[in-house]
Structure 1
Amino acid sequence: MEQILEIAYANLLSPMILFFLLGIIAVLVNSDLKVPTAFYNGYTMIILFTIGIKGGVELRNVSLVEMVPTIIAAIFLSLIMLFISHFILYKVFKYSFADAVAIAAHYGSVSAVTFIAGLAFLDKIGVTYESYMSAVLVIMEGPAIIVGIIMYKLHVQSKGEQITNPDAKLGHVIKEAFFGKSIFLLLGGIFIGLVAHTDGLTLIQPLFGDLFYGILCIFLLHMGMIATLSMVKMKNVKPVSFLFAIILPIIGGILGVVTGSIVGLSVGGTTILAVLSGSASYIAAPAAISQAIPKANSGLSLGSALGITLPFNLIVGIPFYYWLATLLG
């Protein structure tokens, strides 16, 4: 326990976490600090492209056969977290079916920001990880969203109801889940990193490399503000109703550590798989779920994923998953 407290304390003093906490404080003290929308869109693109490009470059030296066990494990974790989350939300917390499946889809999907924070944490303490984990991030984005929406459609049909919203059609949902902004930028970055000439990649290194962590800190400052605002808006909801936002990442992280150890990942790779499994989407999932499941309260999904699970993982979850991985490693 002493070891995990030391790791968590060191993580708490990292610039990324401090920027995130500064964003929280800015809202609590009612500061007039604002991040322009255009700037937010710009650095989001840079962050996602950078992750993809770095992953693409590293994939040049990895065989597909080497990745197969991890890919299977990633899809398994995405779907099992969907089903576990839905069961807990629907049976234990007594949310409506629509809200339960919508929130579960967010927790079956993954957070790119939590992924980056996990990589930064491992880099800081000098722990290596498998080079193809960026591809695993992309793979885990969509399956739970698609299956969650299918679950909702089957439930609606069993009740004799009809879905009339054209944006809720499965083809549109698949497009949003697999080719929405975040996934498209990640895939595009992976493609560029995989096929671009080394000289060309060197030319873009200053933007998509050297400035990455500075831009990420500003992004996390903004995320801290948004997370706090989302929770302020949910002030009429009982705190106990949001306990799942801490329970689910712990379950996901433990499953990720066990699964990573079974498929033979390194301690670093196992940690990142646990970070992904314990995270919740607040970019890809909301875009698809809000259209496909209009009866769901989007504030519950976004408030829990962004307002509770993200800060929990950044401050406590990541060092906890690493500690567990070292025990099994």
Structure 2
Amino acid sequence: MNINLLAENLTNPALLFFILGIVAVYLKSDLAIPPNSSKFISLYLLFAIGFKGGQELSHEVFTLEILWAMLFGVGLALLIPLYVFFILRKKFNVYDSGAIAAAYGSVSAVTFVTAASYLELQGQQLTGHMVAIMALMESPAIIAGLILISIFSKEDSSVSKRSVIHHSLTNGSVLLILGSLIIGYLANAEQAQGIKPFTNDLFKGFLAIFLLDMGIVSGRKLGSLFRRGWFPFAIGIVVPLLNGVAVAFASQIVTHNMADRFIFAVLAASASYIAVPAAMKIAAPKANPGFYLPMALGVTFPLNITLGFPLYYLVAGL
């Protein structure tokens, strides 16, 4: 691995703010980001990346390559939960296995946003259609996880599958990033210039504060996961690294763009800790959020932004 690339990532201010949040928890500091402010910042990040992606997409010509890339992304979101589910069944019950598999098959919008910032540091440009692919990958994994639970559970679920599918497709993060993508696509260059200071200039500062908040949340949840043994940690480390490296290499069948291959790897390696918990709370209330939430947020998220990004970027360049 390129040592300079790793060192550059480990000294990224956004990452250091994330570590500061974890340190604050273990020092028992009262440092905290107000919930309303945290929600606003997360909405802002999704809006900004969606709008900028729409602007980039407006300069692209829809091609067969983009279509194949979209199908590739959806295919990953369906395949990953399938193989992860059967590995998890060795230690977890059906409900926990389905929920965790859905989390690792779905994507993390915040990891995606952080990866976009990482690309900029490397002098690479995020292509607009990758924003659309990220949004498309969020729901299929949730549906796949629910189907697996339905097939292997001996109990009938009283939850309406239609309502769950509707919820996964209209989830706030999906709706906002898709809506912003469309608005960014429709806006001309002069109109986009008017809000550029908000969508571009403030982005990295808001990202740093948001990662500080994520560090605080992660630090609070890691303790409960430690009490559950080594297996959740092994899954939270091995599965994303395996997915990320494999997809960084395999994505060359649909694109030779290094930035796109890196983003595909990040999407395959990330785990959802917003959309999946919201959906599973409705659809699979017997699944324990004490497993899938800290695994995604407390283990996989920091792993990706520290060691994962340089590794996936290196493989994508091969």
2:58 corresponding residue in structure 1:
60
1:291 aligns with 2:253: no
Deviation, 1:129, is 4.5
For residue 311 of structure 1, what is the aligned residue in structure 2? Answer: 302
Unaligned runs of 5+ residues in structure 2 are none
Match of 1:19 among 17, 20, 28: 17
Instruction: Report the equivalent of 2:82.
Output: 83
In 2 relative to 1, CA 53–244 (structure 1 residues): closer, same or farther, beyond 3 Å?
same
Per the TM alignment, residue 186 of structure 1 is displaced from its structure 2 partner at its CA by 0.4
Residue 71 (structure 1) aligned with residue 70 (structure 2): yes
- Greater CA deviation, 173-182 or 255-264? 255-264
Instruction: Give the equivalent residue in structure 2 for 1:104.
Output: 101
Count of residue pairs the alignment pairs up? 317
Would you identify which runs of 4 or more consecutive aligned residues in structure 1 move more than 6 Å? Answer: none
**1:114-161 C-alpha deviation (Å, 9 max, x unpaired):** 1122121121121344332111110111111012112212333xx2x2
Q: Residues 291-316 of structure 1: CA distance to partner in whole angstroms, max 9, x if unpaired? A: 11111111100010000000000100
Residue 207 (1) aligns with residue 201 (2) = no
Please state if 1:139 is matched with 2:133. no
Within 1, Cα distance between the matches of 2:199 and 2:126?
21
Amino acid in the other structure paired with 1:19: F
Code of the residue aligned with 2:70 in structure 1: it is I
2:168 matches 1:177: yes
CA distance in structure 2 between the partners assigned to 1:48 and 1:121 by the alignment? 16
Map residues 1-329 of structure 1 onto 2, 5 A cutoff.
1=1, 3=2, 5-65=3-63, 66-91=65-90, 94-156=91-153, 159=154, 161-164=155-158, 168-327=159-318
Moved more, 262-271 or 217-226: 262-271
Q: Percent identity of the aligned residues?
A: 38
Structure 2 CA distance for aligned equivalents of residues 243 and 194 of structure 1 = 41
TM-score with structure 2 setting the length: 0.96
Give the aligned residue type for 2:171. G
1:52–1:186 CA contact under 8 A, matched in 2: yes
SS for the counterpart of 1:244 is helix
Conserved 8 A contact 1:77-1:255: no
Residues 138 and 183 of structure 1 are in contact (CA less than 8 Å); yes or no, is this contact kept in structure 2? Answer: yes
Whether contact under 8 Å (2:139, 2:169) holds in the other structure is: yes
> Cα distance 1:33–1:59, how it changes in 2: closer, same or farther (>3 A)?
same
Determine if contact 2:99/2:280 at 8 Å carries over to the other structure: yes
One-letter amino acid matched to 2:156: Q
Q: Give the letter for the 1:121 counterpart.
A: Y
CA RMSD across the alignment: 1.4
